[in-house]
Amino acid sequence: MIENLSSIVEALSKTFSQVSTLLGIQWAPMDIPMSRRLQTFAAFLWIYLILFGEAFAVYLFIRLVYSKYWWAAILYGVWMLNDIEICNRGGRSSEWVRNWIWWRYLADYFPIKLVKTVDLDPSKNYMFACFPHGVISLGAFGSFCTNALDFKKLFPGMTCHLITLGGHFLVPFFRELALALGICSSSEQSLLYLLDKKKYEGNCACMIIGGAAEALDAHPKEYKVILSRRKGFIRVAMKSGAALVPVFSFGETDLFRPPNNPENSLLRRFQEKVRQITGISPMFPMGRGLFQYSYGVLPIRAPVTTVVGAPMEVKRNLEPTNEEIDAVHAEFTQRLQTLFETEKVKYLKYHEEARLVIT
């Protein structure tokens, strides 16, 4: 009987191996250290939070409304409506949340590294203009939303706030996590509040300039960024007098293998339409799985290095003309190109073929 059982197990194992080979599945080995398993689990939780977190939060709120605790939902809803403008008034950061061990395991998974090129003056405010967006901006998140990469040790006296669309702060429960991570709205009101020297010193508003539209061009080894038609951040920097800092995350586009979507293709037109309606780019992230390396939505283990460049001083101008904005924009564009060309040799194995394409 034992011999028959062994034969069955062997046959099943052989069949499983053949099916895996046929499907091109590369399974993770069994002897992976616990630290790497925890890193993978942290990445698993993160990607599912990004993909389904808001929908799940709405579902929880609706369930609460139709439960015996409906009164709690009503109280929270009233409080949330009263609190709705907090994302435009500096947010509500929590050091406890930013120090969660989850973020350190997530950063170590790739790993993500934060690099400074010069010191920043904590008596000034700065606008970090971050590139590229990638699929989900993990370099910017790890560097500026958490303490996993020791931002405050690299830049003593500085406080960072990642900037995102205001719509995320309308989602119950989910908004509380975003606020606790120091995230604020991308409205001009919010940015000017954060960069107001009368209210703050040492603030960094970290804005991913290309936004959701740039995510559609996130392909491995490609660095195509949207900057030529993005000038609103220049206007805000001039109105506030905050210095502009180019920030580039090398390796950000290597974390997923999205399907090919050239301009004017059917897929690209569909993605653009959805983005115009919702503000979110449907990227269909294709990476690896939890227990295998061939299929899934988990990001690929690839190093990401977020480099903070030298600040570009901007003269305060409450009513800048288009010509003045264009002049500052042109200088910033040149500084971003210089940062990319100077630093890519250090952080990209394929640096000889890497090109920065600005659209």
Tokens representing residue 77 in the block: 């809803």
Determine the residue type at 292.
Q
pLDDT on residue 219? 85
Q: Are 132 and 214 in contact (CB under 8 A)?
A: yes
Q: Are 288 and 24 in contact (CB under 8 A)?
A: no
Q: Quote the radius of gyration of the chain (alpha carbons, Å).
A: 23
pLDDT on residue 215? 83
Q: Are 87 and 184 in contact (CB under 8 A)?
A: yes
Tokens representing residue 323 in the block: 């010509």
Long-range contacts from 335-344, C-beta under 8 angstroms, 24+ separation: 335/246, 335/309, 335/310, 336/129, 336/131, 336/227, 336/246, 336/248, 336/309, 339/117, 339/246, 339/248, 339/307, 339/309, 340/223, 340/248, 343/117, 343/248, 343/250, 343/307, 344/250
pLDDT on residue 8? 52
pLDDT on residue 4? 55
> Domain containing 282 — which CATH number?
3.40.1130
* Residue 332 lies in domain: 33-358
pLDDT on residue 18? 46
CA distance 42 to 65: 31
7, 21, 206, 223: which is closest to 126 by C-alpha?
Answer: 206
E strand or H helix that includes residue 304: strand 304-308
The number of beta carbons lying within 10 Å of the beta carbon of residue 158 is 19
Reduced to 3 states, what is the DSSP secondary structure of residue 97?
Answer: helix
> Which phi and psi (to 5°) does residue 203 adopt?
-90, 140
Q: pLDDT (tens digit, 0 to 9) for every residue of the chain, 359 residues total?
A: 545 555 554 444 454 444 445 456 888 888 889 999 999 999 999 999 998 999 999 999 999 999 999 999 999 999 999 999 999 999 999 999 999 999 999 999 999 999 999 999 999 999 999 999 998 899 999 999 999 999 999 999 999 999 999 999 999 999 999 999 999 999 999 999 999 988 899 999 999 999 888 888 888 999 999 999 999 999 999 999 999 999 999 999 999 987 777 777 887 788 777 777 776 666 777 888 888 888 888 999 999 999 999 999 999 999 999 999 999 999 999 999 999 999 999 999 999 999 999 99
User: Is there a domain that residue 81 lies in?
Assistant: yes
CA distance 53 to 45: 10
User: Is there a domain that residue 8 lies in?
Assistant: no
pLDDT on residue 7? 56
pLDDT on residue 296? 87
Return left, alpha or beta for 284; rule: phi > 0 is left, psi -120 to 50 is alpha, else beta: left
Structural domain count, the chain: 1
Burial of 28 (0-12, 13-18, 19+ CB in 10 A): middle
User: Is there a domain that residue 17 lies in?
Assistant: no
pTM of the entire predicted model: 0.89
CA distance 50 to 93: 19
pLDDT on residue 6? 53
User: Is there a domain that residue 189 lies in?
Assistant: yes
